[in-house]
Amino acid sequence: MDWRDYWAKANENLEMALLAYERKKNNVCASRAYYAVFLASIAALIKLTDLRATRNEWDHSFVQAELNRRLIMRRKVLPSQIGRTPMELLELRHVADYKPRSISASEAKTPAVWPGFFLHRSRKLWRKRVKRSTNPRRAPSAARDAVSEYIAVLHEVYPPARRATSVVVRPRATSVVVRPDRRVMVNVPLPSRAPDRIHLFAQMAEVGTRLLLETGEFIILSEG
């Protein structure tokens, strides 16, 4: 049982989710995004724990529970925000795959952004094996500094964003649940080519992860 097999499938699903989002196929985006995170969760559990599934059959609720219990609550090597990602994406996938209504463009932003953050945080974890310490939230000035730093890096790696960046602060929400924790959406016009978009999301996901761990400020890149 090799974690790399699941990791490769997770990246395939992430790529398809991003392509579907760009083509406004929101139902496909939500479905593939969930499986990207589900498969990445299996890879993380195999790589970082002794957990193994019988006959390689991984139950969805079991994977989510063990990811939270082993890697977030017990060892604290993944941030708590990541622990909610599978359930939120599962709710959207159920709408996309089983309900008569379709995923809206605004709802599709969650599956378009979160899986990349999830995968790149996981990859950084097992490359460096650095355990996360619990960081209290800083004063509002520190949070503003985190946003400024994020935007400064964004403008450096993606110059077209320099005159077209907007920032939106809102409660985090899904189609089913609205939670009070704040998120900062940095909106920019994304590159037209899919490989360039994926590369930009990958770069900024790592920046966002570092700032999340250092300041507690949750910042994600979005199309605006």
Cα separation, 223 vs 130, whole angstroms:
31
Task: Identify whether the C-beta of residue 117 lies closer than 8 Å to the C-beta of residue 47.
Answer: no
In this structure, CATH architecture of domain 3-128? Up-down Bundle (1.20)
The 3-state DSSP class for residue 181 equals: strand
Task: Identify whether the C-beta of residue 196 lies closer than 8 Å to the C-beta of residue 157.
Answer: no
Residue 95 confidence class, pLDDT cut points 50, 70, 90? very high
- Read off the pLDDT of each residue in 2-30 and give the average, rounded to a whole number: 89
Which of 111-115, 125-129, 132-136 is least confident?
Answer: 132-136
Residue 131 confidence class, pLDDT cut points 50, 70, 90? very low
Give how far Cα 77 sits from Cα of 128, 143, 192, Å: 11, 22, 35
Q: Are strands 166-173 and 219-223 parallel, antiparallel or unpaired?
A: unpaired
Higher per-residue confidence, 112 vs 40? 40
pLDDT at 170: 62
pLDDT at 127: 62
Does 3.30.300 match the CATH number of domain 140-223?
A: yes
Residue 134 confidence class, pLDDT cut points 50, 70, 90? very low
With a cut of 80, say whether residue 181 has pLDDT above it: no
Higher per-residue confidence, 175 vs 223? 223
pTM metric for this prediction: 0.61
Average pLDDT of every residue of the chain: 80
Which residues belong to CATH 1.20.120.330 in the chain?
Answer: 3-128
Residue 130 confidence class, pLDDT cut points 50, 70, 90? very low
Task: Identify whether the C-beta of residue 71 lies closer than 8 Å to the C-beta of residue 126.
Answer: no
Which residues belong to CATH 3.30.300 in the chain?
Answer: 140-223
